[in-house]
């Protein structure tokens, strides 16, 4: 099949449950938050629904008038409790490296507080070209457009919405709270089981090989 080589791409990646498994660290942070505030937070439940902004999760446990202050406390204690236990997901480093090897740029666009996102990436030795925090769902399109992203990779239906709002190709990985069927139903262009499939997918994408794209899917 004839293929047309594409220009080197700019690829955006989500952070939590796309590049990193932050569940152990976030669980530890919620337990400490609960201890400091005296308010019960089901940390095991909270880490099953990562993706949306922190305030949305805190609203399940704290009165509206307390959320801003509690969020500030959470972000303050986060480095001490959440960075060390967090691991890179399988294939994360290789996925970022694949973008570089293709001559492209890799950026991270996340709802997480940007300084804490940068701490995670530095701790794990993942070095994107740019990190933009504090953006969720369609808001992510602002950063994706600013950086001329061709592709956005994420694990949540909110990431699919962000990619589509930016007119970027949505590549979804079923490594987070949304399964493959949910991601497809949300409009993902490609759904991969995890990031280990991404380098092969990217190689096919760069070559304009639609058969290769299909073959790399989950």
Q: What is the DSSP string of 52-78?
A: S-HHHHHTTTS-GGGHHHHHHHHHHHH
Task: Please report, to the nearest 10 degrees, the dihedral formed by the alpha carbons of residues 191, 195, 199, 200 taken in order.
Answer: -50
List phi, psi (to 5°) of 38: 75, 15
**Model confidence at 213, in pLDDT bands (50, 70, 90)?**
low
Question: Is the entire prediction scored with pTM above 0.85?
Answer: yes
pLDDT of residue 3 exceeding 70, the answer is: no
Tell me how far apart the alpha carbons of residues 45 and 177 are, in angstroms, rounded to a whole number.
11
Overall average pLDDT of the 194-210 stretch = 91
Task: Please report, to the nearest 10 degrees, the dihedral formed by the alpha carbons of residues 128, 98, 89, 152 taken in order.
Answer: 70
Tell me how far apart the alpha carbons of residues 5 and 123 are, in angstroms, rounded to a whole number.
35
Tell me how far apart the alpha carbons of residues 133 and 178 are, in angstroms, rounded to a whole number.
21
**Model confidence at 6, in pLDDT bands (50, 70, 90)?**
confident
Q: pLDDT digit string (tens) for 123-140?
A: 999 999 999 999 999 999
Burial of 191 (0-12, 13-18, 19+ CB in 10 A): buried
Overall average pLDDT of the 108-131 stretch = 98
pLDDT of residue 216 exceeding 80, the answer is: no
């Amino acid at each position: 099949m004839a293929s047309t080589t594409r220009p080197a791409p700019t690829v955006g990646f989500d952070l939590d449950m796309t590049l990193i498994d932050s569940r152990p660290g976030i669980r530890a942070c919620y337990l400490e938050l609960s201890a400091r505030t005296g308010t019960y937070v089901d940390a095991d439940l909270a880490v099953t629904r990562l993706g949306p902004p922190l305030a949305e999760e805190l609203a399940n446990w704290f009165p509206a008038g307390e959320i801003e202050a509690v969020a500030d406390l959470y972000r303050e204690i986060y480095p001490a409790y959440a960075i060390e236990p967090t691991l890179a997901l399988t294939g994360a480093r290789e996925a970022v490296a694949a973008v570089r090897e293709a001559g492209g740029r890799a950026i991270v666009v996340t709802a997480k507080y940007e300084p804490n996102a940068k701490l995670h990436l530095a701790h794990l030795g993942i070095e994107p070209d740019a990190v933009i925090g504090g953006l969720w769902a369609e808001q992510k399109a602002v950063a994706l457009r600013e950086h001329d992203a061709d592709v956005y990779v994420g694990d949540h239906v909110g990431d699919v919405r962000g990619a589509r709002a930016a007119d970027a190709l949505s590549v979804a990985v079923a490594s987070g709270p949304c399964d493959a069927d949910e991601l497809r139903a949300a409009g993902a262009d490609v759904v991969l089981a995890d990031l280990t499939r991404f380098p092969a997918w990217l190689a096919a994408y760069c070559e304009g090989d639609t058969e290769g794209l299909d073959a790399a899917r989950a």
